[in-house]
Structures are given as C-alpha cells and as structure tokens.
Structure 1
Amino acid sequence: MILNRTPHPIRVYEWDRQDGNDDLGLGLKSVIDPEPEPARLATIELGTQADGIELVEFGHRVDLPRPQDGVRHVVSLVVALALAPRRSDLLVPYSEVRNSTGTVIGCRALAQPV
C-alpha cells in the first residue's frame, strides 16, 4: 500500500508523457490522494546570531507513522532526504511532469531516496 503524505494529490503519468501540455488526463496512470495529515519536518529554533540570521535545526519528523510492513509513504523530497538514513519506506515523486507554464502537475514515477 502507498499512502500520500504530501498535502496534494500525486498524479503518476506514463514515461512518454511530454511536458508542456495542460491536459491533466493525458497519459495519466493513477492518482494518489493525500492523507489527512501531511508529513512535515519539525524545527527547533536555536536563537538569532548577531547578524540577524536565525539558527534552526531541521530533521525531526512530524505526523509520520512508524514503519509498517507493506506500507510506503510518498513524502516531500526534503522529508525523505532528512529521514532516508533511518527509513526505507519513504518515496518521492520522480521525473516531474510540467504543464505549459512550467508548473509541476505530476510525475512519471516514484523513487526511493538512498
């Protein structure tokens, strides 16, 4: 089972789907609807430096269940990269599909960051 832990639907298209087309249905293989709670990284504010730059620690998971056999989670790339050393159940959209204005409307595959 694949659960979508991003805040928006994930459209997965055929590999030969060309960019630059606004038809969302062209070459569409599947849509993975989002779960109610997206996975986000928590932050810990460590203070402000003398030059006004905030020091922030990233990498703590939020709203992501513990790994379960047979369950994989689609998350943002930043979440996957932060947790990849500890989690093998995370997937990210790969090979983005873009419409005529360059906006990402989907992907051609899901990938597991390592």
Structure 2
Amino acid sequence: MPLLNLTPHEVTVLSDDARVIGRYPAAARPVRVPVVRVRVGEVDGVPLVRQYHGRTVLPEERPGTWYIVSTLVAAAHPGRRDLLVPTDLVRSADGTVVGCRALDCHTGPELRRMVCEEPGAGEVTEP
C-alpha cells in the first residue's frame, strides 16, 4: 500500500529500538490549511484574535493509497478515511523531532474500526 507524504517535512518512522522502519520525503507542494485571523480585542497591548481554519484541497481518494498529513489537515477533513498523522514523536536531546513511532488513523471511532483494524484483529478501544 503506498504511503504519500503531503507534509512539508520528511517523515521518518522508527521502531521501539530506533531502527528506521520507513522514510517518506517531504512533499514538493505540501498541503496546508488556510487560516483567517480576525482581531477581537487586546489585553495589555497584546492582540487577541479568533482563528478560523478552512479546508484545503487534497488528492482524490484512491483505493490502497494513504496520505500522511498534519493533525490540522486531518481535522479539517473528518470524513476522509485515507489520512494518517505522525504520532508518538521521537525527539533528540535538544527537543527536535527526529521521527515518530506510528501513524494515527485520524478518524472517529466508527471509521477507525473500518480503516485501521484488520478483520479479526479485535476491538478498537478509545482512550
């Protein structure tokens, strides 16, 4: 199954013993969520804004293809069943993200059962 990275960063997936499981190059044209900020006031001279997120244009769903996206992109498209989000991030000593240990099937519980669970793999539980 192809995994295509639509983020502006290379995504490196690491095993528990820090072995590279997969490496997915950054997208030449990353998918980003448009943001509109409306100023609603200020406190101590600091602007307060209300932020609105729009939808972005994603590739069409293709059977057998998964897209790695940011949490914000996945949240903007809750009905998409083909979006994966890096999770369980691994950081260097200075706090820089160097990889992740898994990709989250960023969907609701019903879709998560259909998308992420192999037939007969058992129940999917929500935290």
Normalised by the length of structure 1, the TM-score is 0.77
Which runs of 5 or more structure 2 residues have no equivalent in the other structure?
Answer: 108-127
Structure with greater proportional strand content: 1
State the alpha-carbon separation in 2 of the partners of residues 49 and 109 from structure 1.
Answer: 39
Q: State the identity as a percent.
A: 35
Q: Match of 1:61, as an amino acid?
A: T
Name 1:13's counterpart in structure 2.
14
Whether 1:49 aligns to 2:40 is yes
How many Å apart are 1:50 and its aligned residue?
A: 4.9
Q: Match of 1:37, as an amino acid?
A: R
Structure with greater proportional helix content: 2
State the alpha-carbon separation in 1 of the partners of residues 17 and 41 from structure 2.
Answer: 52
SS at match of 1:31: strand
Paired residue total = 102
Name 1:30's counterpart in structure 2.
22
Higher-RCO chain (CA-CA 8 Å, sequence separation at least 6): 1
Whether 1:67 aligns to 2:68 is no
Instruction: Work out which of the residue numbers 44, 56, 80 in structure 2 matches 1:87.
Output: 80
Normalised by the length of structure 2, the TM-score is 0.70
RMSD: 1.8
Instruction: Work out which of the residue numbers 103, 106, 113 in structure 1 matches 2:106.
Output: 113
Q: Match of 1:48, as an amino acid?
A: R
Which runs of 5 or more structure 1 residues have no equivalent in the other structure?
Answer: 18-26
